[in-house]
Amino acid sequence: MPGKSKGLPRHALVLRQYSELETYARAFADGYLRSLVLIGPPGVGKSFTIRNVLGNQVCWIAGNASPFGIYLKAYQHANEPIVLDDIDDLYRHPQGVRLLKALCQTDPIRTLGWHTQARDLDKLGIPHEFQTASPVAMIANDWQTLGPNVAAIEDRVHLLVFQPTPLEIHLQCAKWFWDQDVFDFVANHLSLLEEHSLRLYVRAWELKAASMDWHSAVLAQCLEGGARIVAQLKADRSFQSEEDRVRAFVKGGHGCRATYFNHVRRLPCPTEVPKLELQTKFPPQVRPKSMDMIEFLRDRFGDLGKG
């Protein structure tokens, strides 16, 4: 697993486990942390984890919100916790970085100002300057120290870099995913995944539900070229022996017998993954048509009792 992203300051803290991330989220929710920035690759559940801990007690601003739109929201939700999700473009914008810098002031009371678009502010009845005590959490896929204003933000926040291992992501997925075949297949190929994603499980399940080649979709995220072909052949249960796979490899024009075994030798050793039985049996808001509601609830939650 790679270390810290290049260019991050020394005080950036790398987190490897979801429990660590949840601890920081709870500290933010409880008011102990005024400002934090959470950085991590897409698809590892950064936003989901934060939202799951904070619930509905925050103003959540997601997507590509404009700096002006965030100013309006910050006024409307003054003194409430604010989460800015997906700020990858925002902190690169001159107005955006100045606004974030003001929001992350270390003083308990921060002063925010917007001295352009005066006519728009007046129409909305929003002042050109106001004070707020809102704690602020920001989430991004990437982060670079682009200049002194970004460096000032870094100096004012708890800077967290979330880099869970493929095994940690897999164990987290077990808490909510529903397809045992997909889950087990990914488990058998975790050692091939340098950058894992929770979304991989859902994409594979969608292909499986459509009777499409979901195995190749998983392997495509792991390998390329001849190595991917070899991994696909080894995952294909229709072959009776390794010799059958070699013949298919050669017949497909991917190389000779020696090339096949060279790829086999270069495949990473399997990661030791505990065997887990998924507790969730169906996708969200989906139940078999043949099962009535009582049977569905009993299947999901066990005996319903007699009361």
Q: Average of pLDDT values for 43-52?
A: 94
- Cβ(89)–Cβ(112) under 8 Å? no
Residue 130 forms beta bridges with which residues? 112
Residue 204 pLDDT greater than 60, yes or no:
yes
Of the pLDDT bands very low, low, confident and very high (cuts 50, 70, 90), residue 299 is low
Q: Tell how strand 59-61 and strand 158-162 pair up.
A: unpaired
- Residue with the bigger pLDDT between 223 and 59: it is 59
- Cβ(57)–Cβ(29) under 8 Å? yes
Of the pLDDT bands very low, low, confident and very high (cuts 50, 70, 90), residue 146 is confident
- Residue with the bigger pLDDT between 159 and 5: it is 159
Q: Determine the pLDDT at residue 3.
A: 43
DSSP annotation of 5: P
Q: Determine the pLDDT at residue 223.
A: 74
Helix (H) or strand (E) holding 215: helix 214-220
CA 211/CA 225 separation, integer angstroms: 25
Q: Which of 4-13, 66-75, 79-88, 230-239 has the lowest mean pLDDT?
A: 4-13
Q: Which of 50-64, 98-112, 186-200, 284-298 has the lowest mean pLDDT?
A: 284-298
- DSSP string of 41-63? -TTS-HHHHHHHHHTTSSEEE-S
- Cβ(179)–Cβ(205) under 8 Å? yes
> Which long-range CB contacts under 8 A does 301-307 form with residues at least 24 apart?
none
Q: Average of pLDDT values for 2-18?
A: 76
**How many percent of the chain have pLDDT more than 90?**
59
CA 212/CA 206 separation, integer angstroms: 9
Tokens in use for 90?
A: 């925002």
Alpha-helical regions (H) of 17-147:
18-29, 46-54, 67-76, 94-103, 118-124
In the chain, the domains with their CATH numbers are 13-162 (3.40.50.300), 166-301 (no CATH)
Q: Which of 49-58, 61-70, 220-229 has the lowest mean pLDDT?
A: 220-229
Q: Determine the pLDDT at residue 303.
A: 52
Measured in degrees and rounded to the nearest 5, phi and psi for residue 112 equal -110, 140
Q: Determine the pLDDT at residue 285.
A: 76
